[in-house]
Amino acid sequence: MTILYEVNKNLYINLTNKCPCNCTFCIRNNGDGAYGSDSLWLERDPFAREVIEQLKSRDLDSYDEIVFCGFGEPFEALGVMLDVAGYLKSVTSTTIRVNTNGLSDLINQKPTAHLLNGLIDIVSVSLNAGTKAEYLKVTRPSFGDSSYDAMLKFAVDCKKYVKSVVLSIVDVIPADEIEKCRQISNKLDIPLRIRKYDE
């Protein structure tokens, strides 16, 4: 099973296929890999020791970033992610990022941003839309109406514990939605990153 894969100068860690969202633009709808990787569908979630064992065979200092991002939501495997991040912090100074839908507190049924303190350098939260109604339509989260506010609260909470927090959107949304996202980004004082959609 593919736990580690490379994209440009970054190393990505695929911890789980579980995700509470069913986004209309999800790359999982296009195939079983990403950016030329082998299949990212996991037979089961790997244990922390299995991930760490694979990381030991890599030159971790050679990457620009090490990113928790695969075919699922990394916070669905919160304990494993924290253990692996702790290992990474003990062996490399490479920046550690997590790409997330921001629904960790709902997934784990408790506040979780503080757990990232000292372990994660960058949190990129998928904003996906400029209004709650549009967010629910595009993201289709299993938690329903509470998801949008929970995602924004998580992003704000992360600012207290993580060096850099970013809101991300994909460039497939209309220009007026992108503008609304900019307004949210400005209001929360969190930078907005517009990602190119990869077929």
| Residue 68 bridge partners (DSSP) | 13, 98
The per-residue pLDDT for 1 is 85
CA-angle at 42, arms to 74 and 114, nearest 5°: 15
| Strand-strand pairing, 65-68 and 10-13 | parallel
pLDDT score recorded for residue 73: 96
Structural domains in the chain, CATH included, are 4-195 (3.20.20.70)
Q: Residue 100 is encoded by which pair of tokens? A: 């997330």
Q: Is 61 exposed, middle or buried (0-12, 13-18, 19+ CB in 10 A)?
A: exposed
pLDDT for the residue numbered 173: 78
Within 10 angstroms of residue 176's Cβ, the number of other Cβ atoms is 9
**For residue 63, how many other CB atoms are within 10 A of its CB?**
18
| CA–CA distances in Å: residue 128 to residues 26, 149, 171 | 11, 13, 9
Is the full-model pTM beyond 0.85?
yes
**CA gap 54, 10 in Å, rounded:** 15
Q: For residues 95 and 109, give the distance between their C-alpha atoms in angstroms, rounded to a whole number.
A: 28
Tell me the three state secondary structure of residue 94. Answer: coil
Q: What is the pLDDT at residue 172?
A: 75
Question: Distance between alpha carbon 141 and the CA centroid of its chain, in Å?
Answer: 15
Percent of the chain residues topping a pLDDT of 90:
76
pLDDT in tens, the chain (199 residues): 889 999 999 999 999 999 999 987 776 666 555 555 567 778 899 999 999 999 999 999 999 999 999 889 999 999 999 999 999 999 999 999 999 999 999 999 999 999 999 999 999 999 989 999 999 999 999 999 999 999 999 999 999 999 999 999 988 778 888 999 999 999 999 999 998 766 5
